[in-house]
Amino acid sequence: MDAAARADLTGMFNCPHTGVALAALTKLRERQVIGPNDRTVVVSTAHGLKFTQSKVSYHAQEIPGLTSKYANPPTPVKEDLGAVMDVLKSKFNI
């Protein structure tokens, strides 16, 4: 889950399966099986939107036995434009 969340920081929204492939890629790179100048491809066959509950659980740190290294916890907001604007202003100091 950490590998998918780490990749999500780039703007992607990875599925857990792609996360497994990315974790394997990272481990192979760390072990120098894949060199610093080698080119690699990870094929993502699904989208993170198919796995929204696992994404929310990861970021809310609700998965037993897992520390979410790249957690970006959700912020509960009322279904009201003013409330949303207040949270955005607070988060971004505007």
When pLDDT is cut at 50, 70 and 90, the band that residue 52 belongs to is very high
Give every CB contact of residue 9 below 8 A, 6+ residues apart in sequence. 70
Q: What is the pTM of this model?
A: 0.75
Q: Which residues constitute the domain of residue 13? A: 2-92
Instruction: Write out pLDDT tens, residues 4-43.
Output: 999 999 988 999 999 999 999 999 999 999 999 999 999 9
Number of domains in the chain: 1
